[in-house]
Amino acid sequence: MGGVGAREVVRVVDEAHREFWSTVLASTVRLTRDIDLAEDCTQDAFVQALRTWPDGVPTNPAGWLTTVARRLALDRLRRETTLRRKLPLLIEDPAAPGDGEQPTDPLRLVFTCCHPALARDSQVALTLRLICGLTTREVAAGLLISEPTAAARITRAKKKIAAAGIPYRIPADNELPDRLDAVLTVVQLVYTAGHVAAGPELTRADLTGRALELARLLVRLMPTEPEPQALLGLLLMTQARGDARVTEDGELVLLADQDRSRWDARLLAEGVSRATAALHEGRGRFALQAAVAGLHVTAPSWEKTDWHQVVRMYDAMLLGWPSPIVALNRAAAHSLVPGADLDAVLTELDALGNEPALKSYAYLPAARADILARLDRPTEAVKAYDEAIALTVNETENRFLQRRRAALL
C-alpha cells in the first residue's frame, strides 16, 4: 500500500503490538536462547516499524516484525564475544526447526516461564510480561502488587532462567503433570487481564484471544487431561457473553442484567460441552470454576440461577484450593441465596478486608457496597463505593460504580 500518515502508523503499530507481540518474541527467543536479548530485539523491531511503515504497511505485519527482530538478534549475536556462553541457554530440541515461526512457539514460552525452578509469583509475572506484552504497571495491577514488586519478580525470573539454563521447549510427557497447574493458572490470568483491562476499554481482545489460543493448544497437547478441557470450557463460556457485557454506548452491564439472547450460542455450546466432559473426569479447581460458569449460562435467568449449587461449588474450591478471592466469590454468591442473612455475609466480607491479597482488590469494597445498599445503609454504601472507585483501573467499570454510587444519594 502507499504512504501512511504518522498518526495512522502509530495506531497500526499499536494494534500489531497487541496482536503479535508474543508471537514475535517467542520466535526470537527460539533463535537466541536468551530472553533479554529477544525482548530487546522485539522491542526494536516495533520501533523500526514506526520509522519504516509510513512508506507502506507490509501485507504481513507479523512476518515483517518477526524477520526484523530475528535479524537484529543475529546481528547482535555475531557482534558479541559472549556467543559461546549464550548458546547453551534455553536449549531447544535439536530436532525442532530453527527458522521461521512455529505454531507452538508461544506455548513453549509459557512453559519456560512456568518452569518449576521459578517461584509461582515470578512465573505469573513473567508470563504476563512476555506473553501479553503488558507493561510492568499493568502486570502489577493484574496481580494486585506494587510496580517495584512486579519489576523485581520479572527480573528475578529472567536471571533464574539464564543461570539455570532452563530449556525453551514443551516438556516431555512425564514432566507435563507437574507443570500443568502453573500453566493453566497463567493462561487464565492472561484471559482475565484482557477480560477487564486496565484503561478506557472494558476488554482487550488481543489478550483474551491469546489465552483462548493457548488453552486450545494445551487441550491438543494433553487431550485426555480434564483440567485443560475445563479451562477452555470456562473461557469459552465467559467469551460467549462478551457482546452483552456493554451497551451500545459502551456502558457496563452486569450478568444479572444482560440480554441473554445476545450471548454467542456456538461458544456457549462448546464451552458447556467441554466443562461437562471435564467434570465427568474429575473435580479439579478449573473444573469447579467451569461448573460455576455453567450454572450461570444454563440458568433460564439470573433469578432462577441455582445459587445453592453455586455456593457448594465454591465450598469445594475453598476446601481444596483456598484463597481470599474464592472466599469473596463464595460470599457474594451466598448473598444471593434466597433468604440469606446479609448481615452475616457482610461480616464475612469485613473479615476478608484483613487479607493482604485483597487490599487493592476493587471487587471487595464493591461487594460490600452492594450488600450495604441492600441492607438499606446508603451512607456506608457510598463510602464503600468510594473505596472501590479509587481502586478500579478500568474506566468502564469506574463509570458503572459511579452510577451505582450516585443512585444512593
pLDDT 10s digits, 158-183: 888 888 888 777 777 777 777 888 88
The three cell numbers of residue 115 are: 518452569
Domain assignment present for 21: yes
- Distance (Å, whole) CA 75 – CA 5: 30
Whether 282 has a pLDDT exceeding 50, the answer reads yes
Q: Could you tell me if 71 and 8 lie in one domain?
A: yes
Residue 108 sits in the same domain as residue 182: yes
Q: If pLDDT is split at 50, 70 and 90, which confidence band does 6 have?
A: confident
Which residues, listed in sequence order, are joined to residue 246 by a DSSP beta bridge?
A: 252
66 and 17 part of one domain: yes
CATH number at residue 50: 1.10.1740.10
Do 3 and 77 share a domain, yes or no?
yes
**Within this chain, do residues 122 and 64 fall inside the same structural domain, yes or no?**
no
> CA 327 to CA 333: how far, in whole Å?
10
pLDDT in tens, 332-356: 999 999 999 999 999 999 999 999 8
Q: Domain check: are 146 and 77 in the same one?
A: no
Q: Please tell me the distance from the alpha carbon of residue 350 to that of residue 107, in angstroms, as a whole number.
A: 40
73 and 23 assigned to the same domain = yes
Domain boundary among 24, 48, 83: 83
Most confident of 2-16, 95-109, 385-399: 385-399
Q: Would 93 be classed as within a structural domain?
A: no
49 and 114 belong to one structural domain: no
**Are 76 and 9 part of one and the same domain?**
yes
DSSP H or E stretch at residue 316:
helix 307-320
In a domain, 90, yes or no: no
Q: Residue 227 domain-assigned?
A: no
CATH number at residue 116: 1.10.10
pLDDT of residue 1: 44
Q: Total domain count for the chain? A: 3
285 located within any domain: no
Predicted TM-score (pTM) of this structure = 0.79
The answer to the question of residue 36 being in a domain is yes
Q: Which residue has the higher pLDDT, 100 or 66?
A: 66
What CATH number corresponds to the domain at position 386?
1.25.40
333 or 10: which leads in pLDDT: 333
- Mean pLDDT, the chain, as a whole number? 87
Other residues' Cβ atoms within 10 Å of the Cβ of residue 82: 9
For 217-264, write each residue's pLDDT tens digit: 889 888 889 999 999 999 999 999 999 999 988 899 999 999 999 999
Any domain includes 321: no
Q: What is the pLDDT of residue 86?
A: 52
- Contact criterion met (CB below 8 Å) for 33 and 108: no
Last-in-domain residue among 147, 170, 187: 187
Domain boundary among the residues 127, 159, 187 is at: 187
The b-or-e profile of 132-160 (16+ CB within 10 A means b, else e) is bbbebebbbbbbebeeeebbebbebbbeb
Query: Is residue 223 domain-resident?
Result: no
3-state percent breakdown (helix, strand, coil) of the chain, nearest 5? 70, 0, 30
What pLDDT band is residue 102 in, cutting at 50, 70 and 90? Answer: low
At 91, is the pLDDT very low, low, confident or very high (cuts 50, 70, 90)? very low
Q: By residue range, what is the domain housing residue 341? A: 334-409
Contact 314, 336 (CB under 8 A): no
